[in-house]
Amino acid sequence: MTETALPVSRSIYGNNFFDRARAVLTLDAPPGLTDPDALPLRGDHDADPVVKAIAAVRPIKPAAVLIPVIERDEPMVLLTQRTAHLPQHAGQIAFPGGKIDPTDETPLAAALREAQEEIGLDAGVIDPIGYLDIYMTTLGYRIVPVVARVHPQFTLTINPGEVEDTFEVPLSHLMEPANHQTHSREWQGMMRSYYAIPFGERYIWGVTAGIFRNLQQRIYGA
């Protein structure tokens, strides 16, 4: 008799998310950030294996993003919507973050700096938990996601040159496997697949959805 996997209970997406995350994640430097011979296991090729070769031949662009999980009664994730005039990823939903500068001592330092610059999220309300797997994109970025607990008492100052809006999404919605969809669209003359997590009128897709999928797999193993 074949057993059918039961959906993960919503109760495990409560405050014990932080305990689970601390049990499996560390702030040890993840391997493969700058080594062209070390291909990250996670990336755009999760949804579309054909793009792995495309990503592998591009120059490496190290980057870091913050996954800010706000410690509310129901944990929420703070996300941004990028401005429409940016040369890359215009209007897309994203994490605070960006390229790792030579002056950034660690990916964590880069993520905290970018969060301050983009949305004014002060490092004093951020409790870093650990790094997820490096995420490789078709544009050559190798992104280090930093999972962090955020104290609910914070204020934001949005940089309008980079961010149009910020909003919160329940962690339970983002961690529910049934909400992880695979969509496709034309890219550079070919059809490619990618992950998407719709949320009301918001459309979370691409790298952001792929990182959430990896977070769900690492923390909940489903």
pLDDT tens digits, 21-79: 999 999 998 888 887 777 777 766 565 665 666 666 667 899 999 999 999 999 999 99
Helix (H, G, I), strand (E, B) or coil at 7: coil
CATH number of 14-217: 3.90.79.10
Q: Where are the domains of the chain?
A: 14-217
In the chain, at which residue ranges do the beta strands (DSSP E only) sit? 42-43, 61-70, 76-82, 93-94, 97-99, 126-131, 135-136, 141-150, 163-170, 181-187, 190-199, 202-205
pLDDT band with cut points at 50, 70 and 90 for residue 125: very high
Three-state helix/strand/coil letters over 165-214: EEEEEEHHHHHCHHHCEEEEEEECCEEEEEEEEEECCEEEECHHHHHHHH
pLDDT of residue 91: 61
Considering the entire predicted model, what is its pTM? 0.86
